[in-house]
Structures are given as structure tokens and as C-alpha cells.
Chain A
Amino acid sequence: ETGVTQSPTHLIKTRGQQVTLRCSSQSGHNTVSWYQQALGQGPQFIFQYYREEENGRGNFPPRFSGLQFPNYSSELNVNALELDDSALYLCASSPGTAYTDTQYFGPGTRLTVL
């Protein structure tokens, strides 16, 4: 196991609602990255947090936002949910932001938007 945990495991929401997903990083890791994986596709990078600051962002609208806490755990918030937001949301922690720092993935949160 990677030591990265995510909650909840599954979630069902309706269009227009808001959702918060949580991730606890592996001990000693200060960087958390979030990815969205739609069915049948590879994960897509949403954003990365390093020491409580957003360090980079992919091509996602502002209604996708995040936070990182002093213990390096992280939240992903999605406002005004759309049907296309249905996906597996993965967080990955790493010991830093260098290209040599391996990312370790949590088990994911499966979000269904009805």
C-alpha cells in the first residue's frame, strides 16, 4: 500500500451541487496532486499543491478548487457539478515537486453526478 488515503470511496451527487473530496498524503510527503479519470480514459492533471500553495494547474475551470493543510493533507472542491464531472478522482502524494520525485496514488474517489 502507498499510505495515501482518500475519502469518501464513492459519492453520488446531482447536477448543480457542490462536493468536497479529501486526501491524506504519505508520511514525509509535502506535495499533493489531483487527477480526474473519466471512464475509459487516462487520468488528467487538475492541480498540484506544495506546502499549502497551488504549484500548478491543468486545463480545468475555476469551479475546481483545492486546499492543502499544514499537515499536507488536501481537499478538492468542485462547485456547480455537471454530468461530465462523473469520474474517478485520484490524489497522489510525492516527497517534493522535482521531476525525480515519484508520485504515489491513493485508491481514488468515484463520483457520480446524476
Chain B
Amino acid sequence: RKEVEQDPGPFNVPEGATVAFNCTYSNSASQSFFWYRQDCRKEPKLLMSVYSSGNEDGRFTAQLNRASQYISLLIRDSKLSDSATYLCVVNPHAGNMLTFGGGTRLMVKP
């Protein structure tokens, strides 16, 4: 079983739609959680950290469920510029050596 699992997609949605991504992780002792965004052939960029209390940044909302070992990302009012691969990232250690999921590809269409 992979340490971090994501649905690879692609998710094809129209502009303005709401889309949700989920991921699960296997190490219950994991310390920190993130969503990164990666555009085609570019480096990953931090989108947001994920906390148990949930956190929101504009159109993006992230949620962590430690009991179920499940992380979610909700994107509201999708824009064409949201088209990218979204990487679920878990830090399974006390340090910061990151474990990435395989990514979920989002394509927003006009």
C-alpha cells in the first residue's frame, strides 16, 4: 500500500464549478500535511498547509481527519488558471522529509 494515495483523475470541470479532492495516508504518526500545486513541467508550489481545525484561503478549503487518516481539498468557483496537478503531501516524521501522493490532475474548461 502506498503511503499517500490520491485519485489520479483527471477531473474535468467547467469554470465556476466546485471540485473536491481527497487523499489518504497510512502513517498515523504523521506530523504535518500540505497541498502542493504543480503546473506542467514545473516545480511543486505550496498551496496550503492542512490543519485538523480546517483552514480556508480564498476559494480553497483544506481539511484533515486524523481519525480516518484522510485529507481533503475543496476548490470553489473554479478558474481556468486552477488547471494543474494537486499533490497531497504528508510529513511522516518529526522532521520535514516529505512524502508525496501521485497527484490529482484538474482540468478546468470554459
Contacts and interface: CB of A to CB of B under 8 A. Distances in A.
Chains A and B bind each other? yes
A94 B96 contact: yes
Contact of B100 (A2, A44, A56, A104): A44
Nearest to A91: B43
Given A42-B102, A100-B32, A105 B95 contact: no
Interface residues of A, number: 32
A94 B4 CA distance: 22
B94 A43 contact: no
Contacts of B91: 99
B45 to A, nearest CB: 7
A77 interface: no
B43 A103 contact: no
A33 B103 CA distance: 20
Contacts of A105: 43-45
A12 interface: no
Interface in A73-113: 88, 90, 92, 94, 96-108, 110
12 contacts: A31-B96, A40-B102, A42-B4, A43-B100, A45-B97, A55-B95, A56-B97, A90-B43, A96-B96, A100-B32, A103-B98, A108-B42
Given A97-B95, A97-B96, 18 more contacts: A2-B43, A33-B97, A33-B98, A35-B100, A42-B87, A42-B101, A43-B44, A43-B87, A44-B100, A56-B93, A94-B96, A98-B95, A99-B31, A99-B32, A99-B91, A104-B46, A105-B44, A108-B42
Interface of B: 4, 31-32, 41-46, 87, 91, 93-103
